[in-house]
Structure 1
Amino acid sequence: MSVGIETFITFGIYLLFLIGIGVYFYTKTDTHEDYVLGGRGVGYWVTAMSAQASDMSGWLLLGLPGAVYLSGLKQIWVIVGLTIGTYLNWKFVAPKLRTQTEEHDALTIPTFLSRKSDDKKGYVKTFSAIVILFFFTIYSASGLVSNGKLFESLLGIDYKLGVLLGGGTIIIYTFLGGYLAGVWTDFFQGILMFFAIIVVPVVAYFVVGGNKGIETAMVQKHISLNLLKYPEALSLPVIISGLGWGLGYFGQPHIIVKFMSIKDVNELWKARLIAMVWVIISLVGSIAVGLTGMALYPDIKTISGDAEKIFIYMIGGLFNPWVAGILYAAILSAIMSTISAQLLVASNTLTEDFYKYIVKREKSHKELIWVGRICIILIFIVATILAMNPNSQVLSLVSYAWAGFGAVFSPVILFILYKKNLHWKNILISMLIATVTVIFWNQSGLGKTVYEIVPGFIINSLTLYILEKFSEKNSSN
């Protein structure tokens, strides 16, 4: 597909705007806490939009519409799981995490887990940091894959160059402005994503002739919205796997870190309301993109044989170049918001949980900020190398990383927030077992039957519960 100069101009202005935000907050970042958590002074609107924009990423505008385009509503359980998980995360994790991380003077999740469990030797902190770096590198790579696909389809340039161009913009504003640049770009990106996910399917709906056009396309593709016609979609493993996505929310560092930075914990309920409205409407819109896309492009060959590009082609086919440029920017927004959040969390982990821990001397705020910036570049390089395969599927990369974080951290976060005196040794053992479970389950192919987050979450929870009961029994004796 080809685009006009108007689209290039619109797209270019948007990228410069993002870089401008990075430059602005470069001048506003004075302390290490500013660079890592925005000084814990972020408003509820920005907190809500940033958390959700960082959450959904390219999966919302590329992965999910592509899945619906190929198989209808077989992904419905994932959507239900994500919706429930979002609400529970804001309701039960956000308030306690905001309060307790400040009480323990923790800027990262590994530091919080370590300090609250009285892990004086730092074993929990170190292992948590390793897990975060491993899975975030994979997660960031998934975003760069989306970047490459967007630039390849939009500009007709080489996929690998697209990965570098999109990623380069992210690096500039994240490198300069740190956390505040990340959340404020997320805020504008979340608005743009919300606008695009509503406008595109609505316009497409009328262009294809409404319900009749969609139904005709679905008949041709042998797809039905009636799940009763797909016994596999109603099987217990599929339902459990889909709903299991919701278990991952409690342990996603790039999402829950946003709870830690809100200015007033009493305003979290407002942020939760905004987040839920955004999520529900966005998920419905994403499904609508896939359904209307079937009618617009019934032959997958017309979208280069890649279902995950359906949203990109719909924009190009439905809108004039000026509007298309804005909507294309929405896709880039979805990708950038998540990558920037992941890079910052991974960088902060290296700085807070490794550098500060290993280098035994007094360190200035300026030194720590620059160490964080260097770490951002290092992580980006590794993620870029992983993303150089143009055949990588966004949804598969995201699902593996999501499972890793959800299985390893979600049970631990819930236990440590709601239970006093959790022993660090029990946390470490449960996380180790969960990590092995997720990797084994995925690599053995069992993940094709039941999503690896489910056994990982269950085994982690049971292990931690049993070990704690055993510890309590021994201490009482």
Structure 2
Amino acid sequence: MTASTPMLITFLVYILGMVLIGFIAYRATKNFDDYILGGRRMGSWVTALSAGASDMSGWLLMGLPGAVYLGGISEGWIAIGLIIGAYFNWRLVAGRLRIHTERNNNALTLPDYFTYRFEDKSRVLRILSALVILLFFTIYCASGVVAGARLFESTFGIDYDTALWIGAAATITYTFFGGFLAVSWTDTVQATLMIFALILTPVFVIIAVGGVDSAMVEIAANNASHLDMFKNLDVIAIVSLMAWGLGYFGQPHILARFMAAGSHQTMVNARRISMTWMVLCLGGAVGVGFFGLSYFASFPEQAAGVSANPERVFIELSKILFNPWIAGILLSAILAAVMSTLSCQLLVCSSAITEDLYKPFLRKNASQTELVWVGRAMVLLIAVVAILVARDPDNRVLGLVSYAWAGFGAAFGPLVIFSVLWPRMTRNGALAGMLVGAVTVIVWKQFGWLGLYEIIPGFVFASIAILVFSLLDKAPSRAMSQRFAEAEQEYRAPVTAA
């Protein structure tokens, strides 16, 4: 038995388990509401862990540890920003959005919600927001396919083209059959696997180097700047790193988790669970990169893999410190991170085409069964497009992923926040905010003014546009104002259940 055989078996068992969950969810999917939002019956644990797992992707186990390994603890600012942004997203948006989407014609998607919330009879909001989702998420999906392929390629020596299909096949299968229920249930398993890996690995690294004190001494001896939280960072750089947290308010795949919760009252427990999971996972990811510095400084003969690619630090430490069976479980966490995010993105793209384009413009009277199967067909279509894009991992289009997070955050973030907090907001304000946010991100990225992360000006200018155009517009209709007031009253009503 080769060293990779136990890892291969572990991977196969894990993948088969995810597909099995997909088929179980298939039997529980009765209509399009079930397929897109799981019938709005997700509990606190599934809501919390699904939101976390769908968010982080392979970046959590590869990108962040690699950045810390290369640059030191100063790379941790992004983790701090993400934690703050996620907390306020749960606090300000989660419960309110759950109520508002249900009161606005039981909206199943963000474009659907925007259309009914602002009584947009022109349906321009629906079309533009659906197109924004399709553009950025198709690219996001391609990056997820590439990440999965790279994992199989580097772990098992499979050629890239073959790894591309293997990495995507399982995710496509359970998303195709099980829809939102499958994605949410598998996300819960995947989030558990991710936190297990990110707590266990840094602990064993610390033990291997002789404790925290020894690790700190070793790191300081090799490069003391790795211990400096402010290394080569000015105020703009720190603000830019922390501003990643602003992106949470506009990510459709995360907001869908809020919309699918059993009720807004589940959000209190869900927030606590999700934030605990997030803090532990981000802390573990930073710990892997940081204490990995000490380990490979102590054992330079084992550093070839991580020297070639710092993002392999988690993979290399897992292989070195654990027997192949445990290493297989730990490395499955990377696959879990990739699959959880990719599946959510496929489903959001599918819902954007089916619910926001196909149903309103082509088949207004389509049956629930027809919509479910169109949704499944769209999962396949988007997946094939993503795989075709991903066949060339160096394709320039993948560079767009670096600011797709900012694009969503600026185009949708202020729009979502104002829509659940400000009753005076109007359809023109919403349209202006979306356009200004998206355009600002694209333009600012091209010119790189001030070295400031483009989500900051995009978010600020979008917010100003919403305020100005809403105040210049005529007041919302009585029906719109009444729906908002009723939603806010429901949100503030005393909690009757956990």
Q: TM-score range by the shorter chain?
A: over 0.9
1:384, distance to aligned residue in structure 2 (A): 2.0
Residue aligned with 1:363, SS = coil
Match of 1:377 among 374, 377, 380: 380
SS in 2 for 1:297: helix
Matched, 1:177 2:178: yes
1:135-174 matches, within 5 Å, as: 135-174=136-175
Are 2:218 and 1:216 equivalent residues in the alignment? yes
**CA distance 1:474–1:326, change in 2 (3 Å):** closer
Q: Which residue of 2 aligns with 1:420?
A: 423
Aligned CA distance change for structure 1 residues 192 and 240 (closer, same or farther; 3 Å): same
The equivalent of 2:453 in structure 1 is 451
Is 1:277 paired with 2:276? yes
Q: Which residue of 1 aligns with 2:469?
A: 467
In the alignment, which residue of structure 1 is the partner of 2:128? 127
Cα offset, 1:321, TM superposition: 1.1
Distance 1:474 1:117 in 2: 8
Aligned counterpart, 1:406: 409
Cα distance, 1:314–1:268 mapped onto 2, change above 3 Å: same
TM alignment of 1:103-122, pairs within 5 A: 103-104=103-104, 105-122=106-123
CA distance in 2, matches of 1:67, 1:238: 15
On the 8 A contact 1:108/1:348 being kept in 2, the answer is yes
Give the Å deviation of 1:75.
2.1
Q: CA deviation at 1:391?
A: 4.9
Mapped contact 2:33–2:108 kept (Cα < 8 A): yes
Inter-partner Cα distance in structure 2 for 1:33 and 1:388 = 33
TM superposition shift of 1:296: 3.0
Deviations 1:391-424 (A, max 9, x none): 5899976541210110100000011111225322
Aligned to 1:61, what secondary structure does the other structure show? coil
- Contact 1:174 1:344 (C-alpha < 8 Å) held by counterparts: yes
Among candidates 382, 385, 390, match of residue 387 of structure 1: 390
Distance 2:304 2:398 in 1: 20
CA contact (8 A) 2:250 2:416 kept: yes
CA distance in 1, matches of 2:149, 2:317: 18
Check whether the contact 2:424–2:476 (CA below 8 A) recurs between aligned residues: no
My pick for the range that moved more, 415-424 or 38-47, is 415-424
* Letter matched to residue 306 of structure 2: I
- Distance in 2 of aligned mates of 1:74 and 1:394: 29
Give the drift of 1:439: 1.2
Contact 1:63/1:308 (CA < 8 Å) preserved in 2?
yes
Q: Which residue of 1 is the match for residue 96 of structure 2?
A: 96
C-alpha separation in 2, matches of 1:92 and 1:166? 36
Taking the aligned partners of 2:229 and 2:169, their CA distance within structure 1 comes to 43
Answer yes or no: is the 8 Å Cα contact 1:147–1:332 preserved in 2.
yes
Tell me, in whole angstroms, the C-alpha distance in 1 between the residues paired with 2:342 and 2:220: 34
CA distance in 1, matches of 2:457, 2:470: 20
How far apart are the structure 1 equivalents of 2:220 and 2:336?
Answer: 30
User: What's the counterpart of residue 313 of structure 1?
Assistant: 316
Contact 2:426–2:476 (CA under 8 A) maintained in structure 1: no
> Per-residue deviation at 1:185?
0.1
> 1:226 — aligned with what?
228
Range moving further from structure 2, 410-419 or 2-11: 2-11
Structure 1 range deviating more: 372-381 or 29-38: 372-381
The count of residues paired between Structure 1 and Structure 2 equals 470
Kept in 1, the 8 Å contact 2:425–2:466? The answer is no
- Please report how far the alpha carbon of residue 289 of structure 1 lies from its aligned counterpart in structure 2 after TM superposition: 0.4
Unpaired runs of at least 5, structure 1: none
Structure 2 match to 1:48? 48
* 2:227 partner SS: coil
Check 1:472–1:366 CA distance in 2 against 1; reply closer, same or farther (3 A cut).
closer
Deviations 1:2-38 (A, max 9, x none): 8432121111111100000011111111101000000
User: Residue 354 of structure 1 is aligned with which of 338, 353, 357?
Assistant: 357
Tell me, what secondary structure is at the counterpart of 2:273?
helix
Question: 1:144, 1:474 → 2: CA distance?
Answer: 44
How far 1:270 sits from its partner (Å)? 0.4
- Tell me the amino acid that sits aligned with residue 468 of structure 2: I
Distance (whole Å) between structure 1 residues aligned to residue 414 and residue 74 of structure 2: 28
Deviation at 1:223, TM superposition (A): 3.8
Structure 1 residues 189 and 238: alpha-carbon distance in aligned structure 2, compared to 1, 3 A threshold = same
* TM-score when normalising by structure 1: 0.94
Q: Secondary structure at the match of 1:227?
A: coil
Aligned to 2:337: 334
Structure 1: distance between partners of 2:221 and 2:377: 53
> CA 1:441/1:215 → structure 2, altered by over 3 Å: closer, same or farther?
farther
Which amino acid counterpart does residue 52 of structure 2 have in structure 1? Answer: Q
Which amino acid counterpart does residue 116 of structure 1 have in structure 2? Answer: R
Name whichever of 180-189 and 419-428 sits farther off: 419-428
Distance (whole Å) between structure 1 residues aligned to residue 442 and residue 162 of structure 2? 31
Distance 1:396 1:294 in 2: 28
Cα distance, 1:271 vs. partner?
0.4
**Which amino acid letter does the alignment assign opposite residue 137 of structure 1?**
T
Separation in 2 of the partners of 1:426 and 1:267? 31
Q: What per-residue deviation string (whole Å, max 9, x for no partner) do you get for residues 298-320 of structure 1?
A: 46643361111111111111111
Corresponding letter in the other structure for 1:77:
W
Aligned CA distance change for structure 1 residues 384 and 214 (closer, same or farther; 3 Å) = farther
Kept in 1, the 8 Å contact 2:62–2:312? The answer is yes
What is the alpha-carbon distance in structure 2 between the residues aligned to residue 120 and residue 410 of structure 1?
23
Calculate percent identity across the aligned residue pairs: 44
Any idea what the Cα deviations from partners look like across 1:146-205, whole Å, max 9, x if unmatched?
A: 212211111111233222211111000000100000000000000000000000111011
SS at match of 1:362: coil
Q: CA deviation at 1:267?
A: 1.6
TM-score normalised by length of structure 2: 0.90
How far apart, in 1, do the equivalents of 2:144 and 2:80 lie?
Answer: 23
How far the C-alpha of 1:217 sits from its partner, in A, is: 4.2
Task: Give me the whole-angstrom Cα distance separating, in 2, the residues matched to 1:303 and 1:416.
Answer: 46
Q: Distance in 2 between matches of 1:426 and 1:33?
A: 29
> What is the CA-CA distance between 1:378 and the residue it aligns to?
1.4
Greater shift in the superposed pair: 209-218 or 84-93: 209-218
Q: In 2, distance between residues paired with 1:346 and 1:193? A: 25
8 Å contact kept, 1:129–1:353: yes
